[in-house]
């Protein structure tokens, strides 16, 4: 079931700011860490306090941000293993491996 939110302008602004902060935190977690530390629990151990302190989301949102980052790396690993990004030496494969995962700053959804 899809539900459409009908927030007031103030609520919409707060929601947009929260989504942007969460995406910035997810990008920070991905960019800040070595690609060898991208599984959920080790990533939480290294990033949880910084995410909560720097961006100020609640505990549940901070956990979700970290999970979102680890899931993105799991998807990347699966795509690399399945050959969806070309062979190991190809330019597309190298670009995917070398570039950190970045969350979008803006969402396409109307708030």
Q: What DSSP letter does each residue of 94-110 carry, written as one string?
A: HHHHHSPP---SS-SS-
Task: Give the C-alpha separation, 11 to 59, whole Å.
Answer: 20
Q: What is the pLDDT of residue 83?
A: 94
Q: What is the pLDDT of residue 27?
A: 87
Q: What is the pLDDT of residue 111?
A: 44
Task: Give the C-alpha separation, 64 to 80, whole Å.
Answer: 24
Q: What is the pLDDT of residue 91?
A: 93
Of 6, 11, 43, 23, give the one whose Cα is nearest residue 107: 23
Contact between 103 and 20 (Cβ < 8 Å): no
Q: pLDDT tens track of the chain, all 111 residues? A: 899 989 999 999 998 988 888 888 888 888 777 656 767 888 888 888 988 888 877 888 889 888 888 888 889 989 999 999 999 889 999 998 888 888 776 655 544
Q: What is the pLDDT of residue 110?
A: 47
Contact between 44 and 66 (Cβ < 8 Å): yes
> Token match 């060898």: residue?
36
Q: How is residue 54 written in tokens?
A: 């720097």
Three-state SS at 67: helix
């Amino acid at each position: 079931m899809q539900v459409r939110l009908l927030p007031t302008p103030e609520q919409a602004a707060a929601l947009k700011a929260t989504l942007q902060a969460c995406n910035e935190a997810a990008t920070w977690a991905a960019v800040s860490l070595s690609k060898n530390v991208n599984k959920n629990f080790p990533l939480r151990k290294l990033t949880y306090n910084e995410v909560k302190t720097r961006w100020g989301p609640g505990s549940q949102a901070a956990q979700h941000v970290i999970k979102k980052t680890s899931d993105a790396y799991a998807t990347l690993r699966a795509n690399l293993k399945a050959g969806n990004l070309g062979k190991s030496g190809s330019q597309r494969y190298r670009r995917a491996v070398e570039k950190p995962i970045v969350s979008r700053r803006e969402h396409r959804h109307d708030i």
